[in-house]
């Protein structure tokens, strides 16, 4: 009884009245009871990172400004955000209904056909490895190089510009990329608890950097931006007014276009480079706490964050830099010889950060928001390998979990080796740096959407027992989300296939997508014949 009273007193001492104090005391205790399992906030960060947010945002803005007038950017992103609820909702409900490792592998495999499930997940593994390789490559050539260039221009210090060029040379890029891959592999091997802590810290830094960018852009007038642009780039370009010189250099492209419904729609495929990908946690469902709560809040919350930030930065960018400059930078050759500045929103913002400390902090935050996705890719791929090994489609070694760290170390190592190979290819084969995976990944999402649409009818037991077995006007919500996703993807894939400006339909991209699928098909039949045995 004494113990009961002591417990009660302890509890009372943590109550200071009001909701906040109770919530905080309960939350902290719950967290200490289960120190490692991912909570909703971790799932939220995981999914924001999985979009490779700032790296993808660079391409989102460049693509959007090249296909539509800048004033259509915000309406386009808002419409795309609403549409993105369909694929994200589909993944969230599928992960609640089938709470297993492997993502598409189990969703599609259990509902449509095992071969389709395998191919869909192979597609993910192939391209996520490619993107780890690309991340390692671009960490040096875009992330570090951009920061050093900005430092060089801001401080008028040529050594930084030299260093920026040096780290962009292939051998140095390869070495830096290798270190990055090894570091990420180590980080995700150590254990989920440690990784989640790192995620939280880096995300805090990334949010600070984002706020610094927003405040900087928000407190700068267009005139001040032009003056700063000319001040920094004038000596480099040998021009008194480089701002207008850049705009004047673009010939034959109408920099002032009129807004229309069609141009708003044209922004959606550009926005889909970022927005619908807050689904990474679907691959790690067995590692989450309170799956239903975590997945729905974590995925949709991440979409909200990503959309709001994209809108905010986009609005400020258009207002401060001016629509003509943004279009001019977007439609010119990004690697144009005479301009030391890339058409990236980060580079334009860096121009305004005159305090070197702020610049470095923002740069590190930018790197976190843009490149931490490599860790999520590695984790997700290793969990897919785990599920293949469970079903005898991969050697049992890849299904092994380190007994103390509780991570699939051999699978992480295998993913790192493939990513390293992609890093080598990307570093020394410039043509492949322009590969786009968007059509491949939307194909996988379409298969999951189709599975979701038919799951309540093909697997009624799963649907009936699912905590996400909701209905809207009598129709399964899962089916509605799946059908909505298929309609949305039909539209955006139409743009990707027919309009060269999205960069998705190049012969090399299409060839690589087919190569990926064909290799998956060959592997599947070899693995089936080989039969490593199910891991029970």
Q: Which of 14, 24, 34, 417 binds another protein (CB under 8 A)?
A: 34
Q: Partners of 471 in the beta sheet?
A: 476
CB of 533 to another protein, least distance (A): 14
Whether 384 contacts 94, CB under 8 Å: no
Alpha helices for 38-191 (secondary structure H):
40-50, 53-67, 73-97, 104-111, 114-138, 145-155, 158-167, 170-190
How many angstroms separate the CA atoms of 112 and 447, rounded?
9
Q: Partners of 288 in the beta sheet?
A: 38
CB of 116 to another protein, least distance (A): 18
Query: How many beta carbons lie within 10 A of that of residue 32, not counting itself?
Result: 8
Whether 320 contacts 225, CB under 8 Å: yes
Question: Contacts with another protein: how many residues (CB under 8 A)?
Answer: 43
User: 471: part of which helix (H) or strand (E)?
Assistant: strand 471-472
CB of 388 to another protein, least distance (A): 13
Q: Which of 36, 194, 523, 532 binds another protein (CB under 8 A)?
A: 36
Site for another protein contains 386 (CB under 8 A): yes
Region near another protein per CB under 8 A, out of 132-140, 246-254, 266-274, 399-407: 399-407
Helix, strand or coil for residue 322?
coil
Distance of CA 124 to CAs 105, 409, 419, 441, 497, Å?
10, 19, 13, 7, 20
Interface characters, 4-33, with another protein (x: CB under 8 A): xx-xx--xx--x-xxx--x---xx-xx--x
Q: Which of 45, 148, 192, 271 binds another protein (CB under 8 A)?
A: 192
Q: Which positions from 133 through 172 interact with another protein, judged by CB under 8 A?
A: none
Closest CB to another protein among 78 and 405? 405
Site for another protein contains 462 (CB under 8 A): yes
Site for another protein contains 2 (CB under 8 A): no
Where b means 16+ CB within 10 Å and e means fewer, 303-328 reads: bebbbebbbbbbbbbbbbbbbbbbbb
Closest CB to another protein among 7 and 215? 7
| Burial class of residue 532 (count of CB atoms within 10 Å of its CB; 0-12, 13-18, 19+) | middle
Q: Which two tokens stand for residue 263?
A: 């141009």
Region near another protein per CB under 8 A, out of 94-102, 159-167, 317-325, 477-485: 94-102
Closest CB to another protein among 27 and 429? 27
Q: Which two tokens stand for residue 45?
A: 């960060």
How many angstroms separate the CA atoms of 512 and 436, rounded?
9
Q: Which of 90, 120, 164, 407 binds another protein (CB under 8 A)?
A: 407
Site for another protein contains 291 (CB under 8 A): yes
Closest CB to another protein among 30 and 215? 30
Site for another protein contains 300 (CB under 8 A): no
Whether 58 contacts 349, CB under 8 Å: no
How many angstroms separate the CA atoms of 346 and 340, rounded?
14
Closest CB to another protein among 172 and 190? 190
Q: Partners of 472 in the beta sheet?
A: 475
Q: Which of 175, 227, 401, 497 binds another protein (CB under 8 A)?
A: 401
CB of 18 to another protein, least distance (A): 8
Q: Which of 75, 82, 99, 190 binds another protein (CB under 8 A)?
A: 99
Tell which residue, 441, 503, 373, has the closest CA to residue 60.
503
Site for another protein contains 406 (CB under 8 A): yes
Q: Which of 85, 288, 317, 330 binds another protein (CB under 8 A)?
A: 288
Whether 103 contacts 121, CB under 8 Å: yes
How many angstroms separate the CA atoms of 255 and 270, rounded?
19
Place of tokens 């964050």: 305
Q: Which of 287, 347, 420, 493 binds another protein (CB under 8 A)?
A: 287
Region near another protein per CB under 8 A, out of 125-133, 235-243, 246-254, 282-290: 282-290
Place of tokens 């995981």: 46
Closest CB to another protein among 22 and 521? 22
Closest CB to another protein among 105 and 366? 105
Q: Return the axis-axis angle of helices 291-321 and 192-218, rounded to nearest 10°.
A: 30
Closest CB to another protein among 100 and 501? 100
Binding residues for another protein, rule: CB under 8 A, are 3-5, 7-8, 11-12, 15, 17-19, 22, 26-27, 29-30, 33-34, 36-37, 98-101, 110, 192, 285-291, 386-387, 390, 401, 406-407, 461-462, 465, 536
């Amino acid at each position: 009884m004494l113990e009961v009273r002591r417990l009660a007193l302890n509890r009372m001492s943590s109550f200071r009245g009001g909701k906040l104090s109770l919530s905080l005391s309960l939350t902290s205790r719950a967290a200490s009871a289960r120190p490692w399992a991912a909570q909703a906030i971790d799932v939220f960060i995981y999914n924001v990172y999985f979009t490779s947010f700032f790296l993808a945002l660079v391409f989102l803005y460049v693509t959007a400004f090249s296909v539509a007038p800048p004033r259509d950017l915000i309406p386009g992103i808002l419409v795309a955000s609403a549409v993105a609820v369909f694929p994200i909702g589909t993944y969230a409900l599928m992960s609640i209904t089938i709470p297993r490792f492997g993502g598409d592998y189990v969703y599609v495999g259990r509902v449509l056909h095992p071969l389709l499930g395998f191919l869909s997940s192979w597609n993910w593994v192939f391209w996520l490895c490619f993107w780890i390789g690309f991340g390692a490559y671009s960490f040096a050539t875009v992330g570090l190089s951009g920061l050093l260039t900005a430092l060089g221009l801001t401080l008028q210090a040529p050594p930084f510009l030299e260093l920026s060029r040096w780290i962009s040379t292939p051998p140095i890029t390869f070495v830096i990329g290798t270190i990055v891959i090894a570091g990420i592999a180590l980080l995700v091997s150590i254990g989920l608890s440690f990784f989640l802590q790192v995620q939280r810290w880096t995300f805090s830094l990334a949010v600070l950097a984002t706020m610094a960018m927003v405040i900087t852009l928000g407190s700068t007038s267009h005139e001040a931006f032009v003056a700063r642009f000319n001040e920094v780039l004038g000596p480099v370009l040998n021009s008194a007014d480089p701002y207008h010189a850049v705009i004047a250099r673009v010939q034959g492209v109408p920099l002032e276009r009129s807004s229309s419904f069609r141009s708003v729609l044209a922004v959606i495929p550009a926005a889909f480079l970022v927005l619908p990908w807050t689904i990474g946690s679907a691959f790690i469902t067995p590692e989450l706490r309170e799956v239903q709560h975590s997945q729905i809040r974590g995925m949709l919350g991440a979409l909200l964050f990503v959309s709001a930030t994209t809108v905010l930065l986009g609005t400020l960018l258009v207002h401060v830099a001016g629509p003509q400059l943004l279009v001019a930078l977007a439609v010119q050759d990004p690697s144009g010889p005479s301009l030391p500045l890339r058409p990236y929103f980060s580079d334009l913002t860096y121009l305004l950060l005159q305090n070197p400390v702020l610049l470095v902090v923002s740069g590190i935050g930018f790197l976190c928001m843009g490149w931490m996705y490599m860790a999520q890719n590695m984790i997700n791929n290793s969990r897919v390998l785990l599920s293949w090994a469970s079903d005898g489609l991969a050697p049992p070694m890849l299904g092994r979990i380190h007994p103390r760290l509780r991570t699939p170390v051999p699978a992480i190592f295998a993913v790192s080796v493939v990513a390293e190979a992609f890093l080598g290819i990307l570093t020394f084969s410039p043509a492949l740096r322009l590969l786009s995976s968007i059509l491949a990944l939307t194909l996988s999402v379409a298969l999951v959407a189709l599975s979701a649409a038919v799951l309540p009818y093909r697997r009624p037991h799963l649907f009936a027992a699912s905590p996400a077995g909701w209905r809207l006007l009598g129709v399964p919500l899962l089916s509605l989300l799946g059908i909505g996703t298929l309609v949305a993807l039909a539209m955006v894939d139409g743009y990707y296939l027919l309009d060269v400006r999205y960069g998705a339909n190049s012969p090399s991209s299409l060839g690589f997508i087919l190569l990926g699928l064909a290799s998956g098909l060959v592997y599947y039949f070899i693995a089936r014949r080989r039969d490593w045995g199910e891991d029970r």
